[in-house]
Amino acid sequence: MHYRRLGTSGLQLSALSFGAWATFGRQVGRGQARELVAAAWDHGINFFDNAEGYANGEAERVMGDVIADLRLPRDGYCVSSKVFFGAAADPRPTQKGLSRKHVRDACDAALQRLRVEHLDLYFCHRPDPDTPVAETVWAMDALIRQGKVLYWGTSEWPAAAIREAAQVARTHHLHGPTMEQPEYNLLRRERVELEYAPLYAELGLGTTTWSPLASGLLTGKYAGGVPADSRLAQPELAWLQREVLGDAARMARAGRFVALAAELGVAPAPLAIAWCLRNPHVSTVLLGASRVEQLVENLQALDLVARPDAGFWARVDALVD
């Protein structure tokens, strides 16, 4: 494993990290969740990502129990949560969003579920059109001053809103956003590479990027239909199936990528992940896995990224440019 700084902060995260979305509390049982976290930890992963909304809080409960059960040293790993969608099945207005009230209540609930005294990273999961940005910045700053959060950031915020948050923080001497959590993969690059481009130098912004495999599409596993044991086969994720498989042009690009990986003699999953890692503005690539074998295969990305063969990467870049 190698470690990268989260933007210009002093926090060093493993270049590959591990998230619980769609799997913990839903697709995989506790035993499997324990094996996945243990394997991640054994391979040097030090950042475990979660959110209040993942399986209505159950993902955090499972992760908290598993980490406690494995007795991972608290100073050796980082854990995150995200606030916005709410953990209740049908959240009332004060149980979701980025108001001062919900930000604080959600943090306290996540601390309990994850069985920790502070969150290392805390994200605003989406922008909230019903809350002034300044209110959220003050709420996050308060959590940091109370010792409940170490670094706060955003997820899928427009660059202008991140800038506004940073400006509020600067004006009032508050803790500003340290990181953003955007989607980033061979099929979705614009936000990380173009929209946020000025923010890396301007704010020292770090990124914890998600869905490096576009929910598995870049492994080629959906080419012959949806496997019964994959996330897209879950009825409650029918919306995701439409998103991932609904665009013929996108499917064709994914197919061309998988064919190129075969030509280059490498597995598509680690190749797609290594491609993300080659961007120096990526602090850590969040992996998802429903089985330990997937995680172990994906970790091969660390070897691939160091491949000095410029011609090899030029072929991959040519495919997605």
d(CA 39, CA 28): 15
The answer to whether 54 is a known catalytic residue is yes
Q: Does 302 bind ligand NDP (CB under 6 A)?
A: no
Residue among 81, 65, 77, 86 nearest 119 (CA): 81
Q: Is 269 in the site for ligand NDP (CB under 6 A)?
A: yes
Short-list 186, 168, 185, CA closest to 177? 168
- Considering the complex, state which of residue 174 and residue 288 has its C-beta at the smaller distance from ligand NDP: 288
Decide if residue 154 touches ligand NDP (CB under 6 A): no
If binding is defined by CB under 6 A, does position 81 make contact with ligand NDP? no
d(CA 295, CA 36): 8
Question: Please, are residues 287 and 273 in contact by the beta-carbon 8 Å criterion?
Answer: yes
- One of 150, 287, 304, 305 touching ligand NDP (CB under 6 A): 287
The answer to whether 57 contacts ligand NDP (rule: CB under 6 A) is no
Rounded to whole angstroms, the Cα distance separating 125 from 140 reads 13
User: Measured from the CB atom, is 165 or 174 closer to ligand NDP?
Assistant: 165
Residue 157 contacts ligand NDP per CB under 6 A = no
Exactly one of 12, 95, 167, 294 binds ligand NDP (CB under 6 A); which one? 294
Task: Establish if 181 lies at the interface with ligand NDP (CB under 6 A).
Answer: yes
213 contacts ligand NDP (rule: CB under 6 A): yes
Quick one: which of 82, 236, 57, 77 has its CA closest to 152?
A: 82
Task: Tell me the pairing of strands 12-14 and 3-5.
Answer: antiparallel
One-letter amino acid of 136 = T
Count CA atoms within 13 Å of residue 40 on its CB side: 35
Rule CB under 6 A: choose which of 179, 214, 282, 304 binds ligand NDP.
214
- State the nearest-atom distance from the C-beta of 285 to ligand NDP, in Å: 9
Tell me the β-bridge partners of 98.
none
Write out the residues near ligand NDP by the rule CB under 6 A.
19-23, 49, 155-156, 181, 210-216, 219, 221, 230-231, 269, 286-290, 294, 297-298
Q: Which residues are catalytic?
A: 54
